[in-house]
């Protein structure tokens, strides 16, 4: 999904702030040998070109909440860009450890950090090169997680605002990690893949840090009360859930050329999604199960499973869930009791529209 | 090494503060399902019973730096215990990711967190159980690293002190990670195992966070100037290096019953130490190399390598290095230009004596 709601110069500002964090670390890394510098360079390289969905959402919502651009702000503009950059870096840190846990060496059709580090060492045997890549990704995740906390802890603000931001960061990391742990429990068959578990897991693993977090941060840095944060949290959870369910649907029913991921990758990886949880409850499961999670799944196999998922009602069930969450978000946005300024409601409605219609 | 310099009630205070951090997380974890709660419980369990070397050093040095116990402190006593507990939790977070990277499932003769989580799931196949344990350790390391930053960021102090503490935390994490990365580079044969690289690596990986960090934190929380921090950093680096070299020597020449680790474990794991780097430069290497790093190394093999390391001069070389670092520490402690109160010098000298004579 491309967001074009905020001014392009803001996108450039966030991008350059994120890159500056990496550049500063590259400079400092010189004291620790060439390998360590190479690790920071490879990380800077692989973090480049993100869509900046989360920091853009933060800044956009912050502007909408303040309404009047001349209104007194709790944080100066630089501090807001700083926190927005930290939100993006947190996303990148999560992706690194997620890829380590899943054993992935690609992301969006390019080698990820593990792949980059591994491929840079053709002199090592395959096992050592893989270990080298994995080690780099674990340690870089730690360094970036630390960086995010440093950025939050040093934000130029009063104590109350800083503590609210630290609380939010804590809440977000807890939810995301708990969701990730549940996700692995599902794929390791350590817990039963029922529908409710899967919906809770995806909300925790993705919706919280992608939608709830930037929206609530925007409220905090705008100096608005806990009630505004709470109203935005509700909208963020609905939109985040819809967004993630769409991801699941796009991976099976979408156009790979458009969504950019490998066709049927979720089916090949045996990802436990709401689609699959629904299908398990139907007679179609007997036809789906044999090839589900097969690393050698062909496009033909994928298309066959797709057709089963369509015929057994899994697709319409998930589309219905998406519609429900979009409707719940719209209703929360319109709620007169929610302490949201008109501009914020408009921005959220536009966001809901974009999510509803997204194809990538 | 047992430190008995500080009052036992302080040890109990730190221990109970560390456990309270885990207990609070166990309580909060109830919102995220039984698996996530089990992860926190297992972590609390496996973190219990540590020697608290680092936080004790911090509190001991803080008391010595202040001299008069009635002197005005920059931080209240509770805040100092809080930071000391955070220093211990950082150690535990490092151990978790270190074990993931090394593929270890034991630590000090007991299953580590990976082993505990794996063994708790006999219902899973071996590969899934191992993955489950590793995932838990990666994610718990992330949670604890975040916890440490939260504790530092919220410390009840003025802005200057808090920023000094955050700077120190940043420096320490950078050094430790760079050292860990170099350690893996050595064992993956991604860099040449020369003596200087190995000495630098161990200083970064262990000496910084074990000695320099607690000593400098003590200076900061006592409100002392950067010069005091710098003087303590020098002493800490010398003592830390001596301590680590002793660890290497004890693993080969020490009494396993006394030092508590498996006999010859460093030789079995193929750990690149100063002993090995020295031996590589001698004719003895041809006799050592064939069994070095052999997972099936017997006690007889270990004893044979030990004798080679003794005869080729590696042992006396490393003992000489230890003596040098202890002497350098004593000289830095005695340096009249160093802005250290007499009580602090005494505490540091006692620490140097203890390190010099340690057998475990």
3-state secondary structure A302-354: HHHHHHHHHHCCHHHHHHHHHHHHHHHHHHHHHCCCCCCCHHHHHHHHHHHHH
Closest CA to B80 of B216, B222, B195, B175: B222
What is the chain B residue with the closest CA to A139?
B177
Q: How far is CA B107 from CA B130, B296, B350, in A?
A: 16, 19, 29
Residues in chain B: 360
What torsion do the CA atoms of A286, A289, A290, A291 make, to the nearest 10 degrees?
140
Residue B31 DSSP class:
G
Using 50, 70 and 90 to split pLDDT, how confident is the model at A198? very high
- Contacts (Cβ under 8 Å, ≥6 apart) of A71: none
Q: How far apart are CA B348 and CA B336, in angstroms?
A: 14
Contact A174 B28 (CB under 8 A): yes
Closest CA to B41 of B15, B11, B13, B19: B19
Query: Cα A25 from chain centroid?
Result: 24
- Contacts (Cβ under 8 Å, ≥6 apart) of B67: B341, B343
Using a CB-CB distance cutoff of 8 angstroms, which residues of chain A are in contact with residue B131? 184, 188
Instruction: Using a CB–CB cutoff of 8 Å, tell me whether B156 touches chain A.
Output: no
- Contacts (Cβ under 8 Å, ≥6 apart) of A28: B174
Q: How far apart are CA B208 and CA B274, in angstroms?
A: 18
Q: What is the pLDDT of residue A1?
A: 43
Helix (H, G, I), strand (E, B) or coil at A111: strand
Q: How far apart are CA A150 and CA B166, in angstroms?
A: 7
Q: How far apart are CA A55 and CA B195, in angstroms?
A: 46
Instruction: Using a CB–CB cutoff of 8 Å, tell me whether A26 touches chain B.
Output: no
- Whether B233 and B216 have beta carbons less than 8 Å apart is answered as yes
Q: Which residues pair with A111 in a beta bridge?
A: A106
Q: How far apart are CA B186 and CA B190, in angstroms?
A: 6
- Whether B170 and B152 have beta carbons less than 8 Å apart is answered as no
Chain A segment 294-313 residues within 8 A of B by beta carbon are: none
Gap from B262 CA to chain A (nearest CA, Å): 25
Q: How far apart are CA B201 and CA B181, in angstroms?
A: 9
Query: What is the maximum alpha-carbon separation in chain B?
Result: 64
Reported for B15-20, long-range contacts at CB under 8 A and 24+ positions apart, including other chains, are B15/B52, B17/B81, B17/B82, B17/B84, B17/B85, B18/B47, B18/B50, B18/B85, B18/B88, B18/B89, B19/B44, B19/B48
The mean pLDDT of A264-272, rounded to a whole number, is 90
Chain B segment 157-196 residues within 8 A of A by beta carbon are: 162-163, 166, 169-170, 173-175, 177-178, 180-182, 184-185, 188-191
- For A18-47, give the DSSP string: HHHHHHHHHHHHGGGHHHHHHHHHHHHHHH
Q: How buried is A70 (Cβ within 10 angstroms: 0-12 exposed, 13-18 middle, 19+ buried)?
A: exposed
Using 50, 70 and 90 to split pLDDT, how confident is the model at A7? low
Helix (H, G, I), strand (E, B) or coil at A271: coil
Helix (H, G, I), strand (E, B) or coil at A125: coil
CB-nearest to B142 from A97, A128, A166 is: A97
Q: What is the pLDDT of residue B245?
A: 94
Phi-psi region of B3 (alpha: psi -120 to 50; beta: other; left: phi over 0): beta
Q: What is the pLDDT of residue B73?
A: 62
Closest CA to B330 of B234, B244, B248, B245: B234
Q: Is the pLDDT of residue A5 over 80?
A: no
Using a CB-CB distance cutoff of 8 angstroms, which residues of chain A are in contact with residue B113? none
Using a CB-CB distance cutoff of 8 angstroms, which residues of chain A are in contact with residue B169? 146, 150
- For B329-349, give the DSSP string: HHHHHH-TTS---HHHHHHHH
Alpha helical stretches, state H, B254-298? 256-259, 265-269, 274-280, 285-288
Contact B143 A173 (CB under 8 A): yes
CB-nearest to B146 from A39, A163, A173 is: A173
Using a CB-CB distance cutoff of 8 angstroms, which residues of chain B are in contact with residue A270? none
Q: How buried is B355 (Cβ within 10 angstroms: 0-12 exposed, 13-18 middle, 19+ buried)?
A: buried
Contact B174 A131 (CB under 8 A): no
Compute how many other C-beta atoms are within 10 angstroms of the C-beta atom of residue A86. Answer: 26
Contact B181 A145 (CB under 8 A): no
What is the chain A residue with the closest CA to B164?
A154
DSSP H or E run through A246: helix A226-253
Contact A32 B174 (CB under 8 A): yes
Q: Which residues pair with B107 in a beta bridge?
A: B110
Contact B188 A39 (CB under 8 A): no
Instruction: Using a CB–CB cutoff of 8 Å, tell me whether A121 touches chain B.
Output: yes
Helix (H, G, I), strand (E, B) or coil at B263: coil
Residues in chain A: 360
Q: How far apart are CA B157 and CA B166, in angstroms?
A: 12
Contact A35 B185 (CB under 8 A): yes
Residue in A157, A184, A270 to test binding to B, most B beta-carbons within 10 Å: A184
Q: Is the pLDDT of residue A310 over 60?
A: yes
Q: What tokens appear for B251 in the block?
A: 């693993």
Q: What is the pLDDT of residues B28-66, one digit of tens each?
A: 999 999 999 999 999 999 998 888 999 999 999 999 998
Residue A27 vs residue A257, higher pLDDT: A27
Q: Is the pLDDT of residue A192 over 60?
A: yes
Q: Is the pLDDT of residue A138 over 60?
A: yes
Q: How far is CA A8 from CA A12, A59, B48, in A?
A: 6, 12, 52
pTM, to two decimals: 0.94
Q: Give the whole-number percent of chain A exceeding pLDDT 70.
A: 95
Q: What is the pLDDT of residue A8?
A: 65
Q: What is the pLDDT of residues B94-127, one digit of tens each?
A: 999 999 999 999 887 789 999 999 999 999 999 9
Contact B36 A181 (CB under 8 A): yes
Q: What is the pLDDT of residues A45-67, one digit of tens each?
A: 999 888 899 999 999 999 999 87
Enumerate residue ranges in chain B where pLDDT < 70: 1-8, 68-74, 360
Contact B97 A124 (CB under 8 A): no
- Whether B295 and B268 have beta carbons less than 8 Å apart is answered as yes
Q: Is the pLDDT of residue A328 over 90?
A: yes
Instruction: Work out whether the CA dihedral A279, A280, A284, A290 comes out positive or negative.
Output: positive
Closest CA to A269 of A187, A185, A181: A187
Contact B121 A149 (CB under 8 A): no
Q: What are phi and psi of A51, to 5 degrees?
A: -80, -10
Q: How far is CA B324 from CA A220, B208, B246, B328, in A?
A: 54, 18, 12, 6
Gap from A128 CA to chain B (nearest CA, Å): 5
Q: Is the pLDDT of residue A195 over 60?
A: yes
Instruction: Using a CB–CB cutoff of 8 Å, tell me whether A135 touches chain B.
Output: yes
Gap from B229 CA to chain A (nearest CA, Å): 20
Query: What is the maximum alpha-carbon separation in chain A?
Result: 64
- Contacts (Cβ under 8 Å, ≥6 apart) of A175: A204, A208, A209, B32
Instruction: Using a CB–CB cutoff of 8 Å, tell me whether A117 touches chain B.
Output: no
ipTM of the complex: 0.94
């Amino acid at each position: 999904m491309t967001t074009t709601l905020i001014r392009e110069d803001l996108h450039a500002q966030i991008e350059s702030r994120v890159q500056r964090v990496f550049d500063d670390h590259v400079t400092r890394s010189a004291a620790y040998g060439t390998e360590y510098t190479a690790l920071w360079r490879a990380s800077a390289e692989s973090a480049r070109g993100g869509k900046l969905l989360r920091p853009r959402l933060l800044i956009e919502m912050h502007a909408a909440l303040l309404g009047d651009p001349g209104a007194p702000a709790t944080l100066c503009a630089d501090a807001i860009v700083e926190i927005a950059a930290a939100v993006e870096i947190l996303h990148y840190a999560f992706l690194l450890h997620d890829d380590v846990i899943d054993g992935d060496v690609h992301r969006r059709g390019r080698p990820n950090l593990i792949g980059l580090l591994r491929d840079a060492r053709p002199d090592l045997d395959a096992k050592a090169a893989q270990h080298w890549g994995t080690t780099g990704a674990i340690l870089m995740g730690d360094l970036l997680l630390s960086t995010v906390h440093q950025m939050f802890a040093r934000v130029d603000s009063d104590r109350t605002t800083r503590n609210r931001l630290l609380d939010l960061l804590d809440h977000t990391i807890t939810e995301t990690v708990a969701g990730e742990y549940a996700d692995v429990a599902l794929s390791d068959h350590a817990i039963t893949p029922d529908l409710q578990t899967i919906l809770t897991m995806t909300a925790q693993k993705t919706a919280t840090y992608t939608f709830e977090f930037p929206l609530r941060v925007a409220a905090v840095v705008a100096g608005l009360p806990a009630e505004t944060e709470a109203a935005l949290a509700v909208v963020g959870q609905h939109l985040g859930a819809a967004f993630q369910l769409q991801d699941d649907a796009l991976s099976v029913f979408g156009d790979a050329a458009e969504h950019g991921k490998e066709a049927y990758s979720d089916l090949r990886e045996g990802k436990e999604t709401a689609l699959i949880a629904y299908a398990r409850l139907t007679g179609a499961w007997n036809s789906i199960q044999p090839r589900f999670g097969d690393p050698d799944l062909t496009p033909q196999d994928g298309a066959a499973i797709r057709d089963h998922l369509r015929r057994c009602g899994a697709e319409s069930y998930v589309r219905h869930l998406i519609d429900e969450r979009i409707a719940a978000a719209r209703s929360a946005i319109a709620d007169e009791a929610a302490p949201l300024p008109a501009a914020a409601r408009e921005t959220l409605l536009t966001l809901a529209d974009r999510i509803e219609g997204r194809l990538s």
